[in-house]
């Protein structure tokens, strides 16, 4: 028996004689009582635990006088040095029978429940606090079984939907009130639960039913929760109200549509006005002297080059940039129409991609005018009367620059032509526009057959 009492054990143990004096006691129970083993031996329970003795005595008398055990009873006693704090115990008093059948003493076995109860109370308080926090949020937060059964939900979405917890708890999530407005919505939720149960995180903007059969937009997420072994034990649904965000987005989209329509109308009207100006120049040229008529036609071509820019912007509904390839092809077609008879012996070819050569709106008109001047000059001056030839426009992206080449296989620039190209109004305009574009222009060598002009400008808008 002595070995039993000396062994380390979380259970307190003691033996009392008939006078309720401690005969044996282990360290665990002695520590519970706040005294050493030696301070217990030979002392009565009343002497060791004076405050608890009135409660313990009836049960001890039951064991000594009647031989009936008192098992697994709970008692709160003052903790030694605990400033009035109580310790919870679960104890059992068992009779120790003698050979003649009488009771010779009491075997005591006790477990201090204080630490366990404190932990349980702390956990309960923590759960209550967490519940209060969750219930104070409007965000939907819940707990589901892996099969999609709703086990818990916080208060806010229940109140917003005008339902009680018992209306949805224990049901498959897809069969709850929030999704009851649509078979499609229920089917989506069911599939989402299956995906989450397989380990996927599901997130989607969804619509749910609320009180009064109203609808609310939610940013919804469904996340699998795993235990320490990686096994999915629950699914956690959560959501936040994004109705205001969607309304704001719709207002922004509406404003953008209005802006687009307005800008389209502006470009359309500018294009129409420029075409009117071009028509007036054409009419004026018919009654003018040959040299004046030629200058008026050149001005008409310039105006039409600008009008074409606004026409393409109107058609694309993109008012920040212009695709250079389609523009060059449309410009070439316009010049073919303007120089109809000449096009029977001179070929005008354009080599440029349909996409990937975006230039900013501020670059569009200057580039258009430069190319128009170079093409018009080639068509008018590059070839002797009756001679056939080719004028070619090539545009490409080279590193972070766009290069536009206008070349012909004609007679080339006169030998006495300035290398800067400033001898004519058209070439002077080209020089000024090149500076405006912050670009560079490589002029052809005078006195040599053929002419190639190379315009290089920086890319200021991302190519698609």
Provide the CATH number for the domain around residue 398. Answer: 3.30.565.10
Which of 241, 275, 290 terminates a domain? The answer is 241
DSSP characters over 338-399:
HTTGGGGTEEEEEE--SSS-EEEHHHHHHHHHHHHHHHHHHHHHSS-TT--EEEEEEEEEET
Q: How far apart are CA 358 and CA 381, in angstroms?
A: 31
Residues 464 and 327 in one domain: yes
* Mean pLDDT of the region 258-276: 73
| Among 323, 259, 314, 312, residue whose Cα is nearest residue 462 | 323
Name the DSSP letter for residue 79. Answer: P
pTM: 0.46
Q: What percent of the chain stands above pLDDT 70?
A: 86
For the beta carbon of residue 115, count every other beta carbon within 10 angstroms.
10
Q: Residue 464's pLDDT is what?
A: 40
| Among 408, 400, 397, 429, residue whose Cα is nearest residue 323 | 397
Residues 327 and 315 in one domain: no
Residues 415 and 294 in one domain: no
| 130 falls within a domain | no
List all residues 6 or more positions away from 303 whose beta carbon is below 8 Å from its beta carbon. 274, 275, 277, 278, 281
Q: How far apart are CA 81 and CA 304, in angstroms?
A: 102
Residues 353 and 438 in one domain: yes
Predicted confidence (pLDDT) per residue in 302-322, tens digit: 777 777 777 777 776 666 678
Cα separations in angstroms, 312 against 50, 253, 263, 403, 457: 102, 23, 13, 21, 20
Q: Residue 69's pLDDT is what?
A: 93
The torsion angles phi and psi of 279, rounded to 5 degrees, stand at: -65, -40
Cα separations in angstroms, 207 against 159, 163, 191, 437: 17, 17, 16, 51
| 56 falls within a domain | yes
DSSP H or E run through 307: helix 290-316
Q: How far apart are CA 443 and CA 424, in angstroms?
A: 14
Q: Which residue has the higher pLDDT, 281 or 107?
A: 107
Alpha-carbon Rg for the chain, nearest whole angstrom, is 48
Name the DSSP letter for residue 212. Answer: G
Q: What value does the mean pLDDT of the chain take?
A: 82
At residue 331 the predicted structure's pLDDT band, cuts being 50, 70 and 90, is confident
Residues 310 and 345 in one domain: no
| 129 falls within a domain | no
Give the residue numbers spanning the domain of 215: 137-241
Residues 232 and 255 in one domain: no
Q: Residue 148's pLDDT is what?
A: 94
Q: How far apart are CA 183 and CA 378, in angstroms?
A: 69
Predicted confidence (pLDDT) per residue in 357-392, tens digit: 888 878 888 888 888 889 888 888 888 888 899 999
Q: How far apart are CA 369 and CA 69, in angstroms?
A: 112
Residues 336 and 440 in one domain: yes
Which of 241, 260, 277 terminates a domain? The answer is 241
Residues 340 and 420 in one domain: yes
Please return the burial class of 87, using the count of CB atoms within 10 Å of its CB with bins 0-12, 13-18 and 19+: buried
Q: Domain total for the chain?
A: 4
* Mean pLDDT of the region 418-422: 57
Residues 340 and 287 in one domain: no
Q: How many whole angstroms from its chain centre is CA 363?
A: 35
Residues 330 and 431 in one domain: yes
Q: Residue 462's pLDDT is what?
A: 46
Q: b or e along 140-150 (b: 16 or more beta carbons within 10 Å of the residue's beta carbon)?
A: bbbbbbbebbb
Residues 438 and 336 in one domain: yes
Residues 57 and 73 in one domain: yes
| Among 79, 106, 104, residue whose Cα is nearest residue 91 | 106
CATH number for the domain that contains residue 99: 3.30.450.20
At residue 43 the predicted structure's pLDDT band, cuts being 50, 70 and 90, is very high
Please determine, for residue 130, whether its predicted confidence score (pLDDT) is greater than 80.
Answer: no
């Amino acid at each position: 028996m002595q070995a039993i009492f000396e062994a380390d054990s979380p259970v307190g143990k003691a033996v009392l004689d008939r006078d309720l004096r401690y005969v044996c006691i282990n360290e665990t129970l002695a520590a519970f009582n706040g005294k050493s083993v030696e301070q217990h031996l030979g002392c009565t329970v009343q002497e060791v635990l004076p405050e608890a003795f009135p409660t313990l005595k009836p049960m001890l008398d039951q064991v000594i006088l009647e031989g009936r055990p008192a098992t697994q009873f709970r008692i709160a006693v003052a903790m030694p040095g605990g400033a009035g704090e109580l310790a919870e115990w679960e104890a059992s008093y068992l009779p120790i029978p003698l050979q003649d059948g009488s009771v010779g003493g009491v075997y005591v076995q006790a477990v201090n429940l204080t630490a366990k109860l404190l932990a349980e109370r702390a956990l309960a308080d923590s759960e209550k606090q967490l519940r209060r926090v969750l219930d104070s949020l409007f965000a939907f937060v819940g707990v589901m079984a892996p099969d999609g059964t709703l086990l818990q939900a916080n208060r806010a979405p229940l109140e917003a939907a005008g339902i009680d917890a018992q209306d949805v708890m224990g049901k498959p999530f897809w069969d709850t009130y929030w999704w009851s407005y649509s078979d499609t919505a229920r089917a989506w939720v069911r599939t989402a639960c299956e995906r989450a149960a397989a380990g996927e995180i599901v997130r989607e903007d969804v619509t749910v039913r609320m009180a009064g059969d109203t609808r609310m937009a939610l940013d919804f997420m469904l996340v699998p929760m795993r235990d320490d072994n990686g096994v999915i034990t629950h699914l956690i649904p959560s959501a936040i109200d994004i109705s205001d965000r969607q309304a704001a987005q719709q207002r922004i989209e509406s404003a953008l549509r209005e802006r687009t329509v307005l800008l389209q109308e502006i470009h359309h009207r500018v294009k129409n006005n420029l075409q009117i100006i071009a028509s007036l120049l054409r009419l004026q040229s018919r009654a003018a002297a040959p040299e004046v008529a030629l200058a008026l036609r050149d001005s008409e071509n310039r105006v039409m080059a600008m009008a074409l820019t606004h026409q393409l912007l109107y058609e694309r509904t993109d008012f920040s940039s212009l695709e250079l390839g389609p523009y060059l092809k449309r410009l070439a077609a316009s010049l073919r129409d303007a120089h109809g008879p000449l096009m029977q012996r001179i070929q005008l070819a354009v080599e440029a991609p349909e996409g990937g050569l975006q230039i900013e709106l501020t670059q569009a008109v200057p580039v258009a005018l430069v190319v128009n001047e170079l093409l018009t000059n080639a068509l008018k001056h590059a070839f002797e009367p009756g001679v056939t030839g080719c004028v070619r426009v090539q545009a490409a992206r080279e590193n972070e620059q766009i290069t536009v080449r206008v070349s012909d296989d004609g007679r080339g620039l006169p030998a006495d032509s300035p290398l800067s190209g400033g001898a004519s109004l058209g070439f002077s305009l080209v020089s000024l526009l090149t500076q405006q574009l912050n670009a560079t222009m490589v002029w052809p060598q005078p006195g040599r057959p053929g002419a190639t002009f190379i315009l290089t400008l920086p890319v200021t808008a991302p190519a698609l």
